[in-house]
A and B are shown apart, each in its own frame.
Chain A
């Protein structure tokens, strides 16, 4: 992306006809330069120079992960509509952003996800039945699996970002391993003060943290232009001394190229990196939301042609790795996997009211133990 300047303009309602400020020309702001990255275009054509060069089996693994993410998403939505699931935030259209941001991570690395990150969570090793539990209101769904270095996903916008930086600072200060941390958040989250604070901390302490801002154009009903004075969010990075790249978030190869570059940079001890993944939320914000109130069908339709899964399908078909039959087989296998997870979820979905008290403290203080005992007595369980 070339260096950009913007002009500040007078705000409506300010002019006082007698004020001399009217003669002052608007100040110019130099936004500097950041990279724009895309490997796979909307027609499935590859820019060879930037191609991360994944072997065939990896390409298929990544493709399958995106399909699985979408199958899970659609199943969740159906279950929600049928009353079997709580309020849910679908990720429809953001599959490449999701899988791409965690692709280069190893098991020793960390991930601090937000609530629309289930694709990445599945990739990182969160069992799907657990994610079902989580969205259906069972707190045990939040528990990170024993062998997965991830945080429980964050619902409070932006509040998980400093945790990622803190973990990365710990990695650097202890200096015994070269692990990195990836943290994602939305365009809306970029407005939170704590997100800026976090980028600054990461830069000051050279923390091996990769920030991924998933710019999907909307924060519920608030569009990007209403959210941020600078709509290319990657431009925030350089102001903090954090190298940044803006990538087509619906391009899985571009995402992988960007995240690999960022993770290698952080792993090598050079500090944080910011990736802006430009994507689009194709569906509802959550199942409690009605996007028709605030955005047009035309806008959504314009993004339909940019589907990250179709794009990869076209590319892999061209490479001879997929055909109509294998596409079908993979789709069915993913669907089966999701249905199996649903079965397991249904078996595990048993509410246990006493769990309310289980993890408030290491040891229940006497006053809280008394509350629990009194309550269990009422339930007839003590």
Chain B
């Protein structure tokens, strides 16, 4: 057992996955010599050599497209896109090839690869470095979308993503990268993709979140318990697609009330999909309309005002209280 940040835990996962399977290779901008701009890939070049750990030219569509080709050939590439804002440059290859080659080849060429990328705001970054566009990838058939919330699940989910026979978009909450440490077991760990985690048990209302906003969400839950004797259940989605409908439905069936939190824009965001599923499967148990606490339908603001855009524990707690007050 070791105390690790998310960066260290992800690095651990890459190390153990590369050790376990020599088809796994790591590629991207500044990931080899520099060890990645966030140091997630630090030390991999020395340990596994330049054939398996290599810097690419500065072209995201090139990175994803060639990773797909390498996957067709039978390697298991883990491609890093330096910031999720730059996955847009790779949209073509993600949508046309990464997501559909299994289907286009009628199963001959499954694409077992991972596209890792840091997403989200809160680190005073320059323009284009704070976006949360997971909804794009969740909307794309053929992709899986995974978003960890802490060091331990990040490590286990990245291992699972690398083992997965399908292409996985792995969104790393960069605001959490070095925010806290957590015990990470020594032995290799995986988590099943598609399974949510009950982060806190409760009876009065279900709070659903994922990624970086898990922290303010849990904080809101604790504050509500301390100050208002409200007992909130918190679900950490972990996997956006496939989504663990069962866990969500069971919880809301029990509590009858639900608030969903994400930092991406509201319209057609992940919360909208969750609400639709609850509508389909838990309608008769709902005691109040489901609320969303999300980013605005605006461009991610420049960093002087970014905290006004990001959901915080106060806004979340307010939405919970309003939902509880609804008759």
Contact = CB atoms under 8 A, between A and B. Distances in A.
A135 B62 CA distance: 30
Contacts of A375: 296, 308
Nearest to B297: A368
Contact of B58 (A136, A191, A353, A378): A191
A337 interface: no
Contacts of B29: 219-220, 222
A87 B30 contact: no
Interface string B282-301: 00000000000000111101
Contacts of A157: 58, 86
A220 B57 CA distance: 11
B33 A294 contact: yes
A347 to B, nearest CB: 15
A188 B58 contact: yes
B126 A86 contact: yes
Given A138-B304, A193-B59, A222-B58, A356 B298 contact: yes
A350 B4 CA distance: 38
A137 interface: yes
Interface in A312-337: none
Contacts, number: 107
B125 A220 contact: no
Nearest to B305: A353
Nearest to B124: A86
Chain B interface mostly: loop
Contacts of A156: 85-86, 88-89, 128
Nearest to A221: B34
Nearest to B127: A155
A310 to B, nearest CB: 30
A139 interface: yes
A137 B304 contact: yes
Given A220-B34, A221-B33, A288-B37, A351 B305 contact: yes
A139 B299 CA distance: 11
Contacts of A159: 89
A137 B124 contact: yes
Contacts of B318: 378
Contacts of B124: 86-87, 137
Interface in A145-196: 155-159, 188-189, 191-193
Nearest to B42: A293
A137 B297 contact: no
Contacts of B323: none
A159 to B, nearest CB: 8
A260 interface: no
A226 B53 CA distance: 13
Contact of B298 (A142, A193, A360): A360
A371 interface: yes
B34 A137 contact: no
Contacts of A4: none
A136 B55 contact: no
A189 B58 contact: yes
Contacts of B129: 155
A191 B125 contact: no
A138 B302 contact: yes
B51 interface: yes
Nearest to B92: A193
B297 A367 contact: yes
A115 B59 CA distance: 18
B303 interface: yes
Interface string B78-118: 00000001101100000000000000000000000000000
A293 B34 contact: yes
B315 interface: yes
Contacts of A45: none
A326 B228 CA distance: 71
Given A293-B35, A356-B301, A378-B315, A87 B126 contact: yes
A227 interface: yes
A189 B301 CA distance: 25
A368 B305 contact: no
A304 interface: no
A367 B266 CA distance: 10
Contacts of A355: 301, 305
Given A138-B302, A155-B127, A221-B30, A13 B51 contact: yes
Nearest to A295: B33
A15 to B, nearest CB: 15
Contacts of B33: 221, 293-294
A157 B128 CA distance: 11
A228 interface: yes
Interface string B1-45: 000000000000000000000000000011001110100000000
A301 interface: no
A137 B58 contact: no
B89 A226 contact: no
Interface in A245-294: 288-289, 293-294
B61 A221 contact: no
Contacts of A142: 127
B267 interface: yes
Contacts of A303: none
A136 B59 contact: no
A352 interface: yes
A190 to B, nearest CB: 8
A188 B57 CA distance: 7
Interface in B127-173: 127-129
A221 B56 CA distance: 11
B59 A191 contact: yes
Interface string A358-378: 001000000110011001001
5 contacts: A191-B57, A219-B58, A228-B57, A356-B305, A371-B296
Interface of B: 29-30, 33-35, 37, 51, 55, 57-59, 61-62, 85-86, 88-89, 124-129, 266-267, 296-299, 301-306, 308-309, 315, 318
Q: Which 9 A-B pairs have the closest CB atoms?
A: A221-B34, A137-B303, A191-B57, A188-B58, A137-B304, A139-B302, A353-B308, A351-B304, A191-B58
Given A87-B125, A188-B57, A371-B296, 12 more contacts: A87-B124, A115-B126, A137-B126, A137-B306, A139-B302, A155-B126, A155-B127, A155-B128, A193-B62, A288-B37, A293-B33, A371-B266
